[in-house]
Amino acid sequence: MHYGRLIRVSKYRGDPHAVACIVAVADPAKAIELIRTQAATPDDEIEDFGRVSDALLTALNLGTAQFMRAWRPLGSEGFLCLRVVEKTRVGPQT
């Protein structure tokens, strides 16, 4: 795998309590489905925000079919900071 996906889970667009998930799955549809079945509720909106690098997956020690929940607090300068909340291992990717 050369990259993973950044997936956002929210109740609605603009939800201040949305959660970002870093997913070690390269295919966007498979990453969304993994989050839909393992981390989201039926009424959640799930969006693919794009690729994350293999270097990030390695730094977070994420293997294939694993994901981490994170959130996005913005400081006064507006910098994006990801704080790892939980790492989840799921079954083999199909």
Residue 78 pLDDT > 70: no
pTM (2 d.p.): 0.74
For 3-59, write each residue's pLDDT tens digit. Answer: 999 999 999 988 888 889 999 999 999 999 999 999 999 999 999 999 999 999 998
Report the C-alpha gap between 57 and 3 in whole angstroms: 8
pLDDT band at 93 (very low <50, low <70, confident <90, very high): very low
Q: Which two tokens stand for residue 11?
A: 């109740």
pLDDT at 80: 44
Report the C-alpha gap between 63 and 57 in whole angstroms: 7
How many other C-beta atoms are found inside a 10 Å radius of the C-beta of residue 78?
6
